[in-house]
Chain A
Amino acid sequence: GENVEQHPSTLSVQEGDSAVIKCTYSDSASNYFPWYKQELGKRPQLIIDIRSNVGEKKDQRIAVTLNKTAKHFSLHITETQPEDSAVYFCAASPGSSNTGKLIFGQGTTLQVKP
Chain B
Amino acid sequence: SAVISQKPSRDICQRGTSLTIQCQVDSQVTMMFWYRQQPGQSLTLIATANQGSEATYESGFVIDKFPISRPNLTFSTLTVSNMSPEDSSIYLCSVQVRGARTEAFFGQGTRLTVV
Total B residues in contact with A, Cβ cutoff 8 Å: 22
* B contact residues around A46 at 8 Å (CB): 103-105
- CB contact list, A52-102 vs B, under 8 A: 89, 98-102
Q: Does B102 contact A (CB under 8 A)?
A: yes
Known: A34-B104, A43-B109, A44-B106. A102 touches B31 (CB 8 A): no
B108's contact among A43, A99, A100, A107, by CB below 8 Å, is which? A43
Q: Does B94 contact A (CB under 8 A)?
A: yes
Q: Does B96 contact A (CB under 8 A)?
A: yes
* B contact residues around A49 at 8 Å (CB): 103
Contacting chain A: which of B11-19, B37-45, B61-69, B79-87? B37-45
Q: Does B33 contact A (CB under 8 A)?
A: yes
* B contact residues around A106 at 8 Å (CB): 41-42
B45's contact among A43, A101, A105, by CB below 8 Å, is which? A101
Most buried by B among A89, A100, A107: A100
Q: Is the CB of A107 within 8 A of B104?
A: no
Q: Is the interface of A mostly helix, strand, loop or mixed?
A: loop
Known: A100-B94, A105-B42. A43 touches B104 (CB 8 A): no
Known: A43-B106, A43-B107, A44-B106. A100 touches B42 (CB 8 A): no
Q: Does A25 contact B (CB under 8 A)?
A: no
Known: A1-B59, A43-B109. A104 touches B104 (CB 8 A): no
Q: Does B95 contact A (CB under 8 A)?
A: yes
Q: Does A103 contact B (CB under 8 A)?
A: yes
Q: How far is the CA of A107 from the CA of B41 in the complex (A)?
A: 7
A100's contact among B41, B96, B107, by CB below 8 Å, is which? B96
* A contact residues around B96 at 8 Å (CB): 98-100
**Closest chain B CB from A101 CB (angstroms):** 6
Q: Which residue of B lies closest to A98 (CB)?
A: B102
- Which residues of A approach B to under 8 Å, CB–CB? 1, 34, 42-46, 49, 89, 98-107
Closest 4 pairs (CB-CB, A-B): A100-B96, A43-B106, A104-B43, A104-B42
